[in-house]
Amino acid sequence: MQLDILAFGAHPDDVELFAGGTMAKMAALGHSTGIVDMSRGELGTRGTPALRKEESENAGKILGVKVRENLGFPDGDLQVTSEARLKVIRVLRKYRPKIVLTHFWDDNHPDHVNTSRLVAEAVHHSGLAKIDTGQARHRPPTLLYFKIPTNLVPSFIVDVSDYAEQRTQAIAAYRSQLFDPMSLEPSTKLSQPDFLIHVENIHSFYGTLIGKRKGEAFHFKGVLEISDLASHFTR
């Protein structure tokens, strides 16, 4: 199966939190989408790997993705190695996406940092014929980064106003991680009562920058080409 867009997140729920609206919108527009989780989130303070797998599958259905895989890298110890890179290359050659999304490389969480580097290296190396995986080589033409630092001007922002509720439902599928007054598990940043409000505030901020209700920001290494000024700026 060939996908139009394939998003890589370090943990189940990362893609939903930072690019969920975009994934939902792209699926609604008829593009084939998929999500690859690098780890099972087994070091998470709350929940279990089995429960998070179930939650991620439900979230993927809400977003309309056609594929959801988990590469099983160790949570909290995700390393950039040739073996790990080869595993990502196999996924890229399997689904042959036109666009790849992943974490921005400047982040406090080492798993996010290493996911960004690992995916970027794999995107390049996937196009090398002498790396033999028994598959046809494929280098995705576009690599985009989500969860960009707040002090960085985005390369572009996607209007996700009509998909905010769908994104919220996908995030809420991770019920083990979010606020639950009946839970006896330890408290975390995600389980705070105002966490989802904070997430919505970020998307409202990016929406404001483009005159919309909700937006999701992305970074592109390079310069974006506009082939038709009239169609781009008057649509």
* pLDDT, position 187: 76
User: What is the spatial distance between Cα 112 and Cα 89, in angstroms, rounded to a whole number?
Assistant: 18
* pLDDT, position 179: 66
Q: Which of 55-59, 191-195, 205-209 has the lowest mean pLDDT?
A: 191-195
Number of domains in the chain: 1
Which domain, by its residues, includes 114?
Answer: 5-234
Query: What are 39's strand-pairing partners?
Result: 73
* pLDDT, position 89: 98
In the structure, what pLDDT confidence band is assigned to residue 81 with cuts at 50, 70 and 90? very high
pLDDT exceeds 90 at position 38: yes
CATH number, domain containing residue 106: 3.40.50.10320
Would you list the DSSP string of 28-67?
Answer: HTT--EEEEEEE--TT-SSS-HHHHHHHHHHHHHHHT-SE
pTM: 0.94
Say how many C-beta atoms besides its own lie within 10 A of residue 115's C-beta: 29
